[in-house]
Structure 1
Amino acid sequence: MDTAAKQAVGSKYVLESMKYAQRKTWEVMDQFAQRVRPGMLESEATAECKTVLSELGMDRIWHPVLVRFGANTLKMFKERSDGDPRLAEDDIFFVDLGVVWDGHEGDAGATFVVGNDTEMNACADAAKTLFDEVEHHWRSTRASGAALYDFAAQRAEALGWRLNLDIKGHRVCDFPHAIYKAGNLGDFAECPDAGLWILEIQLAHPTRPFGAFYEDLLV
């Protein structure tokens, strides 16, 4: 498939609508994170997130709501959580949302910490920092998707974290994006256009059993 086909959009696609979907998805993220408390089960938090989505008037979910507590923050999207852990007083969790608003796909992920574990806070911060660095590299150099993940791996190592290179970003657009078989952002040989690609960053602590996740639209 050529570059144009990999960056194709549907007849309803509007960049401003993608930005709207992005904003609404982050609004859910922020409201949900404020409701998470130590003692909640991972399953209870997932149900609460779905409640927030309904309250804010989503069109629909386009990928399952994913909430990961503790050691499950090392899991990839398609992997099942181990058990149904309860959030501890000092703990880490992330949320991954794929939601349709106004016919366009929002996709966002972020990591949060409860309590005062210094290394957990550092890991969560590092995922956002690395995302920002890679996004800036995209804006300033017009690098290919593959080059962005090469840069991400180098920066993660320099910052002292392990980057999961089995997670390399993906396409979004007007719903459903699945009709465009574009592959991963990290395998894309050209510079990704704005408003079409999700940059995903998943880090692991080098020795302890937890990680952090951050993703957002390149726009």
Structure 2
Amino acid sequence: MSDGPHDTALATPHTSATPRPKPKKLFEANERDLIRPGVHEKDLSKQIYDLGFDRLFGIKTHWLKRVVRSGPNTLCPSEENPNDRVIEEDDILFADLGPVFETWEADFGRTFVPGSDVRKLKLRDALEPMWHKVKAEYIQTWTCLAKNRTRLR
């Protein structure tokens, strides 16, 4: 497997007692042990779910649907349920999870390339920097709008 899958993450902490690294550790465990060619998407989703109930993570529920998609299924919107497919060596694979750690709701997505296709690795590597640019623009725009709205009152 290629090194360094890239992720995006948002969170809504209801308590500060839960450490933020847990979602990242869950994905690291997924990459190390679960994500490989020849596995069905639904089986991988179930394995991720089972891993989350492990004592290390203590996940009892997910606040949104677990999405594990590979190859052409990555183009489907999250509300669709495409046919289950077998993950292939040079697929792009996306996992989007919403585990609840104690009372901390995470929304964590990560992109993987199980093989060594250089073009797909470049696409994967471009995702995280782009996500951070979009996030920064969003925060700046909404901060400015909030300030202007306050002035208008």
TM-score by length of 1: 0.54
1:57 aligns to 2:58 (yes or no): yes
Aligned to 1:32: 30
The residue identity in structure 2 corresponding to 1:24 is K
Aligned partner of residue 63 in structure 1, secondary structure: coil
Quote the residue 1:77 is aligned against: 78
Match of 1:133? 133
SS of corresponding position for 2:81: coil
What does residue 207 of structure 1 align with?
none
Rounded to whole Å, the distance in 2 between the matches of 1:134 and 1:190 is: 18
- Residue type matched to 1:99 in 2? P
Offset at 1:119? 1.9
Query: In the alignment, what sits opposite 1:88?
Result: 88
Structure 2 counterpart of 1:165: none
Kindly report structure 1 stretches of 4+ aligned residues shifted beyond 3 Å.
135-139
Q: For the Cα contact (< 8 Å) 1:59–1:103, is it kept in 2? A: no
Would the aligned equivalents of 2:58 and 2:102 in 1 still touch at CA under 8 Å? Answer: no
Could you tell me how far 1:138 is from its partner in structure 2? 5.4
Distance in 2 between residues matched to 1:190 and 1:42, nearest whole Å: 41
Relative to 1, partners in 2 of residues 1:76 and 1:190: Cα closer, same or farther, differing over 3 Å? farther
Q: Percent identity?
A: 26
Structure 1, gaps ≥5 residues long: 1-8, 148-188, 192-219
Distance 1:36 1:190 in 2: 42
Distance in 2 (CA, whole Å) between partners of 1:111 and 1:25 is 14
CA distance in 2, matches of 1:27, 1:73: 23
| C-alpha RMSD of matched pairs (Å) | 2.5
Larger RCO (CA under 8 A, 6+ residues apart): 2
Summarize deviations over 1:50-83 as a string: whole Å, max 9, x none: 11111121132111211001111112211112x2
User: Structure 2 stretches of 5 or more lacking a match?
Assistant: 1-11, 148-153
Matched, 1:115 2:148: no
Q: Corresponding residue for 2:14? A: 13
Q: Distance in 1 between matches of 2:67 and 2:31?
A: 13
Number of residue-to-residue matches in the alignment: 133
Answer yes or no: is the 8 Å Cα contact 2:70–2:93 preserved in 1. Answer: yes
Partner SS state of residue 114, structure 1? coil
1:144 is matched with: 142
